[in-house]
Structure 1
Amino acid sequence: MTSLHRLCGIKAIVTIGAALSMTAGLALAGDNNVSADKILKALQPKPLTRGLSAGAQVDPAVKAKETTFLQTLRNRNTRSLSLGEREEIAAIAATKPKIDLEIQFDYNSAEITKTSMPSVQALGKALSDANLKGSTFVLAGHTDAIGSDGYNQDLSERRADTIKRYLAEKYGINGTDLVTVGYGESKPKDAKAPTAPVNRRVQVVNMDTKTASK
């Protein structure tokens, strides 16, 4: 195998990534045995309580704006999203529940490897749970900085689309509840090491915001 082939092979690893919430994290990156229960716990928003101060409450106007924007993304082709729309998705996702999983793809493709299938299946089971019913999930593809910008952008979109297609076909998850977006190498998880494996990921975000408990 040539050095070029080895280098390209490195690009075949993708991680579904992020933190558990704004204030709490769950380090699951690299965990191929993560359970559906762990994924469910990570993606389920914590309900607001009456004890929270007014400043901590969700602004109804902000929530309405987010909801309206997310409605415009349903049934959209990943590649049809503008740069501005991609950035707005990222801004909203920054405050939402997320989780890290490790997903590997076949060499130079968007096909999920057999070894990573248990992780994807666990994700499918979690997203099928009644506790997450009605939520909109974003599948955001990211790559490392190896390769051209155009190649990485396309790869991130194709891999996000692959996860969406699998979840819809195998678990019956409504495609309109799964929004896919690609960021290529533009948003590394570790900006100080742009070629590091941790940057190769598909971020799964629960975009739904729960109201205060009554």
Structure 2
Amino acid sequence: GLSVGPQTAPGLNADQAKFVQSVRGRATRSLSSAEREEIATIVKDKPKIDLEINFNYNSADISAKSLPSVQALGRALTNPDLQGSTFVVAGHTDAAGGEEYNQGLSERRADAIKRYLVDKYGINGTDLVTVGYGKSKLKDPGQPLAEVNRRVQVVNMENKATAAK
């Protein structure tokens, strides 16, 4: 039979699952720094779909070079097995620029990916939790200005299924 009610996502404890539900559908800029860190803690050990969705310097526009990766992500997220899963779309910047500016830029990058997935693939916007980390989580700390740091990472919070390659 069908069961309806609060479901705990695999790999999340009850508090984490409740927190994930509380941030679904929230605007990126509405997340406090404590909530951003909570998301980072929850996704730390989850498999990341670390697509090379890189951005040009000082830009939140999806580049032509990154478009195929975003389209592949859109196709993967339309898989029926992933319907209703919660995905974190995390924006990042390189270390150039000020803290506040980079925070806003990272949020705009995450929002750009979310908007594209919702508009072009019909993904439910509440399934995509957008968060910006500015320059606080560099992919390559040894090269703080490298392009590889200007990215968006996508993480399946619930591990319901793994997107096929």
**TM-score bracket relative to the smaller structure:** 0.7 to 0.9
| Match 1:157 to one of 107, 111, 118 | 107
Aligned-pair Cα RMSD in Å? 1.8
Which residue of structure 2 lines up, in the alignment, with residue 121 of structure 1? 71
Q: Deviations over 1:169-199 (max 9, x none)?
A: 1111000000000000011122233222222
Q: 1:88 to 1:101 in 2, by over 3 A?
A: same
Give ranges in structure 2 of 5+ residues lacking alignment: 1-9, 161-165
For 1:161 and 1:88, the matched residues in 2 are separated by 19
Which residue of structure 2 lines up, in the alignment, with residue 6 of structure 1? none
For 1:106 and 1:183, the matched residues in 2 are separated by 17
Q: Considering only CA atoms, is the larger Rg found in Structure 1 or Structure 2? A: 1
For 1:188 and 1:181, the matched residues in 2 are separated by 15
Which residue of structure 1 lines up, in the alignment, with residue 7 of structure 2? none
For 1:137 and 1:71, the matched residues in 2 are separated by 11
* Matched length: 151
4+ aligned runs moved over 6 Å, structure 1: none
Using the aligned pairs only, state the percent identity: 67
For 2:53 and 2:90, the matched residues in 1 are separated by 13
Aligned pair 1:65/2:12, yes or no? Answer: no
In structure 2, the residue corresponding to 1:100 is in which secondary structure? strand
TM-score (norm 1): 0.66
Aligned pair 1:195/2:139, yes or no? Answer: no
- Deviation of residue 112 (structure 1)? 1.4
For 2:104 and 2:125, the matched residues in 1 are separated by 20
Give ranges in structure 1 of 5+ residues lacking alignment: 1-47, 49-57
- Map 1:99-178; keep pairs closer than 5 Å: 99-105=49-55, 108-178=58-128
